[in-house]
Chain A
Amino acid sequence: MAMAIDNAFEVDFCSYSTSTTTTTTADEDPACTWNHWGSPVVDWGSLSSERDEFQDLIESMMDDGTGFELTRLGHDHETSNSVSVSVSTDTMVADEETNGEDFKGLRMVHLLMAAAEALMGANKSLARVILVRLKELVSPSDGTNMERLAAYFTEALQSLLEGSGGGHSKHLITNGPQHHRDKHREADMLAAFQLLQDMSPYVKFGHFTANQAILEAVTHDRRIHIVDYDIMEGIQWASLMQALVSRKEGPPTPHLRITALSRGSNGWRSIGTIQETGRRLTTFASSIGQPFSFHQCRLDSDETFRPSALKLVRGEALIINCMLNLPHFSHRPPSSVASFLSGAKTLNPRLVTLVEEEAGPIGDGGFMGRFIDSLHHYSAVFDSLEAGFPMQCRARALVERVILGPQIAGSLTQIYRNRNEEESGRWSEWLDTMGFNPVRISFANHCQAKLLLGLFNDGYRVEELANNRVVLDWKSRRLLSASIWTSPPDSDL
């Protein structure tokens, strides 16, 4: 990859601090003063506004910029010049050097959109040129959030352009696996995953909300059976087991059985296989005295779920757990998720817990709309990490490189693949139309979510969108949604 990934750890401490994406001009910002060591001391109070500055930026750009871009593209296409889009952008901003940061960000967004447009229009040469220009401007290791974000988007578009399947960035694909290269990747993955856990509440929010709902649903049960769509390392279940072991109401320490759905490959981003996950969970359970058993259920080669493949036991409370697109998860094909959820319905589960990425309203934007929404989304994620850990550039760069970068690539691949389809709604809406009943999220669950977010940065918020759905927001951007469902009481098996 042409981009300087190897220098991921090279961080220029001083120059970074002058550019924070949340302020317009750093020197004029009253909220941002400089302490003795040249690091910004930001007064979050005055910076907190209803809308993310980036969102404003995007929207102002979209109002007058988008149309502009398209006509320019059209013009260039006619004259069949080798595109000087970058030149025209430069002339556009030539006399506005004062807001350098802003315009650089704007320029990058312009270019990204232009590249996406070109890709959509199958104008590969144009897209290629734009991406080259972008690569000159951005780098995944230094610069502002916007620049690094743009770097990852550029990479993702590049791989879409070259049609490398799966959206995995080249440097992270393990084809031609040298043994040592695999291990290199896995070591990175370990560190990055751990950092992600500590720096952001995304993973915990999903897990804990689901677990609390499960606990409340099974207070009087002796046997619990959980079917987990994508167990990854099984981290979600550690805290559930702890809670089950120490529960006070109902039969003490119920038996827990977990069935994990397994695929051909567990995804290149998981640490270890499903069997290993099972072993770890079993060990952990025995260490805290939780009666436990672990099973696997294979999905078909196209990842379709067949309910008949599950082993069910009478008298157990069946829980369906579906975690989708948490930061370190792979994007699963929608057909697979659909097969899982509809299969689940036939099993009449006690509870269905669903955690998914929350996308903004797309309207009729189609691919471009979703692309821009994706930009918003990941910009919020990058901002949230920065806000909590402004000094830890290296740590964040690692998380961004190992987890978020591939996530972006996967997300764009999925958007691209579905570009000609109707807007795919949320899975929670789908569950609703399928006939599942919402289950109210309790006061304790809300309370827990708020307390959890309180451990992190102030910018995180819990939003209650429905009585069975809570959403984790960063500033004004919705990021992750957790919803709880149950099968209707009078459904026939």
Chain B
Amino acid sequence: MYHHHQHQGKNINSSSRMAVHNERHLFLQGGHGDSGLMLSTDAKPRLKWTPDLHERFIEAVNQLGGADKATPKTVMKLMGIPGLTLYHLKSHLQKYRLSKNLHGQTNNGSTKIGAVAMAGKRMSEANGSPMNSLSIGPQANKGIQIGEALQMQIEVQRRLHEQLEVQRHLQLRIEAQGKYLQSVLEKAQETLHRQNLGTVGLEAAKLQLSELVSKVSNQCLNSAFPDLKDLRGLCCQQTQPNPPNDCSMDSCLTSCEGSQRDQEIHNNGMCLRTYNTHKDPLMHHQTETKSSENKTMGNDDDDERTMFFADRNCSDLSMSVGLRGRFSQARNEEHSFLEVGNKRVDSVNRLPYFATKLDLNVDEKHCKQFDLNGLSWS
């Protein structure tokens, strides 16, 4: 007896307290040989995973290329410990894998979780034996397993929650930046505009207006802006026949003064805003469905992108709604324009030019009246 006790003392150094408990069971067992395996005597073959044994297990697993590549059979062969069965290895390997995965997924808390999981597992093994004597071992073991699973779950949930928070904040911040940028550009444009009105005569302003009108596809104008047909009459001498490429802007440029070009450019700038205000009803609706899925918006789907900037309303003059969204629609609109035989590319530029030209002091109410939904939006 004394001899046996000593022999076990070697193997159960760190969990000596438990070992003392188990002693009664353990030396009821026959010889352990050199394997140092401690098997209990209850109905289910509960193996005590000592640190030593666990280390050998890890060695074997690593030799086989990691927790995912190793199988119970191969580990068993590699460890070569008699008395170690597939059953033992299956459950141990599974737990090991779980703790490994947790460790891999998350950055910081994971190590703790992983350690907790493994420690919990070890504790469960350690606790298992005395409890087994009362034959409630398996249930208690399951309880602890569930506990680990819950911990994992909680951690994952926490991360998800954090990501959602970040997403929400990001949205707000982009908006804020957009608002501010808007004010920068507005003020700058105001100054430009004031200066331009000084230098450019009223005639020139009218001329410019009519040029812009001439660029827009007739079909769309007719439907959306009926009151502007008269203005188009002004520009008949300016109207260019459909150029093969998008040069209509250029022909205007060459014929106009530079200051007029300014107007076009800063209309270019303004066009984003008014254009995008129309997309809000669409976006608002779509964002509900999208935000419920915790996906990152990382694909080429244009719709998702436009949806992200969802919290726009007409009163929020954010510019950063996204040229992306605008141009994604442009792609579709280009096609519709091509269909009517008008080979202009940046047609989307012209519509908002149009809208803003009539309404240089951005008045949201006016925006809403220009219903661009007459166009085909796909």
**B176 and A280 contacting across the interface, CB-CB below 8 Å:** no
**B323 and A454 contacting across the interface, CB-CB below 8 Å:** no
Tell me which residues across on chain B come within 8 A of A241, comparing CB atoms: 176
The answer to the question of A6 belonging to the interface, with a C-beta cut-off of 8 Å to chain B, is yes
The answer to the question of A432 belonging to the interface, with a C-beta cut-off of 8 Å to chain B, is no
**B334 and A186 contacting across the interface, CB-CB below 8 Å:** no
The answer to the question of A207 belonging to the interface, with a C-beta cut-off of 8 Å to chain B, is yes
Which of the residues A187, A447, A458 comes within 8 Å of B163, measured between beta carbons? A447
Interface residue tally for chain B (C-beta within 8 Å):
65
**A191 and B265 contacting across the interface, CB-CB below 8 Å:** yes
Q: Once the chains are docked, how many angstroms separate the CA of A181 from the CA of B258? A: 8
The answer to the question of A242 belonging to the interface, with a C-beta cut-off of 8 Å to chain B, is yes
Tell me which residues across on chain B come within 8 A of A198, comparing CB atoms: 272, 319-320, 322-324
The answer to the question of B299 belonging to the interface, with a C-beta cut-off of 8 Å to chain A, is yes
**A188 and B297 contacting across the interface, CB-CB below 8 Å:** no
The answer to the question of A60 belonging to the interface, with a C-beta cut-off of 8 Å to chain B, is no
**A388 and B107 contacting across the interface, CB-CB below 8 Å:** no
A426-457 vs B, CB cutoff 8 Å, 1 = contact: the mask equals 00000000000000000110011011111111
The answer to the question of A300 belonging to the interface, with a C-beta cut-off of 8 Å to chain B, is no
Beyond A183-B195, A198-B324, whether A191 also contacts B170 by CB under 8 A is no
Closest to A36 in B: B335
Beyond A208-B173, A447-B162, whether A194 also contacts B250 by CB under 8 A is no
**B188 and A272 contacting across the interface, CB-CB below 8 Å:** yes
Beyond A9-B250, A183-B196, A194-B269, whether A238 also contacts B324 by CB under 8 A is no
**A458 and B180 contacting across the interface, CB-CB below 8 Å:** no
A408-439 vs B, CB cutoff 8 Å, 1 = contact: the mask equals 00000000000000000000000000000000
Beyond A271-B184, A388-B324, A392-B327, whether A187 also contacts B176 by CB under 8 A is no
Interface residues of B in 131-172 (CB under 8 A from A): 159, 162-163, 165-167, 169-170, 172
**B192 and A183 contacting across the interface, CB-CB below 8 Å:** yes
**B173 and A239 contacting across the interface, CB-CB below 8 Å:** yes
Interface residues of B in 185-212 (CB under 8 A from A): 185, 187-189, 192, 195-196, 199
Q: Once the chains are docked, how many angstroms separate the CA of A11 from the CA of B249? A: 11
Tell me which residues across on chain A come within 8 A of B196, comparing CB atoms: 183
Interface residues of A in 276-319 (CB under 8 A from B): 276, 280, 283-284, 288
Tell me which residues across on chain A come within 8 A of B187, comparing CB atoms: 272, 276, 280
Tell me the minimal C-beta distance from A232 to chain B in angstroms.
Answer: 10
**B166 and A242 contacting across the interface, CB-CB below 8 Å:** no
Beyond A183-B196, A187-B192, A451-B296, whether A444 also contacts B262 by CB under 8 A is no
Tell me the minimal C-beta distance from A15 to chain B in angstroms.
Answer: 9
Q: Once the chains are docked, how many angstroms separate the CA of A190 from the CA of B263? A: 12
Tell me which residues across on chain B come within 8 A of A255, comparing CB atoms: none
Interface residue tally for chain A (C-beta within 8 Å):
65
**B166 and A444 contacting across the interface, CB-CB below 8 Å:** yes
Interface residues of A in 448-475 (CB under 8 A from B): 448, 450-458
The answer to the question of B111 belonging to the interface, with a C-beta cut-off of 8 Å to chain A, is no
Beyond A197-B181, A444-B162, whether A243 also contacts B296 by CB under 8 A is no
The answer to the question of A389 belonging to the interface, with a C-beta cut-off of 8 Å to chain B, is yes
Q: Once the chains are docked, how many angstroms separate the CA of A353 from the CA of B269? A: 31
Tell me the minimal C-beta distance from B345 to chain A in angstroms.
Answer: 5
The answer to the question of B90 belonging to the interface, with a C-beta cut-off of 8 Å to chain A, is no
Tell me which residues across on chain B come within 8 A of A238, comparing CB atoms: 176-177, 179-181
The answer to the question of B174 belonging to the interface, with a C-beta cut-off of 8 Å to chain A, is yes
A–B pairs, 7, beta carbons within 8 Å: A183-B262, A187-B266, A190-B269, A243-B176, A246-B172, A271-B184, A448-B170
Binding site for B on A (CB under 8 A): 6-7, 9-14, 37, 44, 179-181, 183-184, 186-188, 190-191, 194-195, 197-199, 204, 207-208, 211, 233-235, 238-239, 241-243, 246, 271-272, 276, 280, 283-284, 288, 388-389, 391-395, 443-444, 447-448, 450-458
If A190-B189, A448-B169 are given as contacts, then 9 extra A-B residue pairs at C-beta distance below 8 Å, sorted by A number, are A198-B323, A199-B324, A211-B173, A235-B181, A272-B187, A284-B183, A392-B330, A395-B323, A444-B162
Pairs A-B, 9 closest by C-beta atoms? A238-B180, A198-B323, A242-B176, A454-B298, A239-B173, A191-B269, A187-B265, A454-B296, A187-B262
